[in-house]
Amino acid sequence: MSNNPSGDADAVAARRRALAEALRSGEDVVVTPSGEVEYKDEAAEQGHTAIQVPNGKLARGE
Amino acid sequence: MSFYWYENDHGLLDGEKMAMAKFFPAFKLYKLEDGSGRIYWRGKVQPTGKGGMVWDLMLIYKNDHPQSEGFGGSIQILPVKPRLKDIAKQLPIDNDKGLGLGLPHIYRDNFGRNEEYFICTADPKYFKASQTRSTSAASSLSWACKWILLCEMWLNGEISDDVAREGVY
C-alpha cells in the first residue's frame, strides 16, 4: 500500500494525460477486456488480449 | 425475410459474438423486454484504470444494424450507471461550446418510455458499414472507452472545453 495517496493520484492523472495525448497523436493505444485504455506495448507485456482503439474523431453530438 | 438483422444475417451475429468473446468476455448478450426485439450487450468497464469510475454500459443494436447513420451508427451506447442524464443535469448548458446537453459528444433518443442520453462514438465518416464490413459492438465499445477517458478528464478539469469538444481522440 502506498503511503503517499496524493502522489498516487498525481501519477494516475499524469498517466491519463499521457494516454489522451497518445490518442490525439495517433499512437497505438488499446482497450483491454476490463475496458482500461492502455498503451499497446504495455498490454502485450501483461498478456492482455486488447482491441486497438480506432483513430478518428468522436461524433459531435448535440 | 425477418425484421431483425440477427435473424437475417447469422454470419454477422456470429462475428459480433466472436469479437465480444475475444475482446470483452465479461459482456453478455440479452434482448430488450420492451417488445422491440432489439438485442444488446451489457457489462462494466473502467477505462481510466485503478481509481477511475466503473461504468455499467448497454450496447444496443438498432434493428437495421449495420446500416444506420449518425452519432456512431447502428449500435447505441447507453451508460446505465453512471447515467449521463444525471451527470448532465448538474452541469451548465452551453450551446455555443457544443455542450447543448451539458456533456461533450452525447445525443438523446427515446428508450422505452423515457428519453435517455447516449454516448456518441465514431464520427459518421469513420463508421464502417458495407456489404462485407461493419463496425462491431467491440469496436463501438472501444470508441466508448475513449469517450469515457475524455469525459472523466474533462469533468476533472484536466482538459479544456475546446479539446473535449473537438474530440480528436
Quick one: pLDDT at residue B45?
97
Quick one: pLDDT at residue B160?
79
Which phi and psi (to 5°) does residue B93 adopt?
Answer: -90, 130
Q: How confident is the model at residue B33 (pLDDT cuts 50, 70, 90)?
A: very high
Residue B17 has pLDDT above 60, yes or no: yes
The 3-class secondary structure across chain A, one letter per residue, is CCCCHHHHHHHHHHHHHHHHHHHHCCCCEEECCCCCEEEHHHHHHCCCCCEECCCCEECCCC
Question: What's the ipTM?
Answer: 0.83
How close B7 comes to chain A (CA, Å)? Answer: 27
Q: Residue B130 sits in which domain range?
A: 5-166
CA gap B169, B163 in Å, rounded: 10
Which residue did the predictor score with more confidence, B23 or A53?
B23
pTM: 0.86
- Any A CB within 8 A of B136 CB: no
Which chain B residues in 59-78 lie under 8 Å from chain A, judged by CB atoms?
70-72
pLDDT tens for each residue of A2-47: 455 556 778 878 888 888 888 878 888 899 999 999 999 988 998 8
For B22, the grid coordinates are: 475475444
How close A45 comes to chain B (CA, Å)? Answer: 17
Q: Domain residue spans in chain A?
A: 28-56
Among B49, B120, B141, select the one facing A61 at the smallest CB separation.
B120
Closest by Cα among B26, B21, B4, B13 to B134: B13
- For an interface test with A, the pick among B74, B99, B145, B165 (most A C-beta atoms closer than 10 Å) comes out as B145
Q: Domain count of chain B? A: 1
Quick one: pLDDT at residue B129?
43
Question: CA-based angle B46:B47:B53, to the nearest 5?
Answer: 50
Q: Do B106 and A54 touch (CB under 8 A)?
A: no
Quick one: pLDDT at residue A1?
47
Say which CATH number the domain at B38 has.
3.10.110
pLDDT tens for each residue of B97-150: 667 788 888 889 988 888 999 998 765 555 454 444 456 899 899 989 988 998
Residue B18 has pLDDT above 50, yes or no: yes
Find chain A residues with C-beta within 8 A of B133's C-beta. none
The mean pLDDT value for B50-65 works out to 91
Among B24, B149, B167, select the one facing A57 at the smallest CB separation.
B167
Q: Chain-centre distance of CA B86, in angstroms?
A: 17
By three-state DSSP, how is residue B61 classified? strand
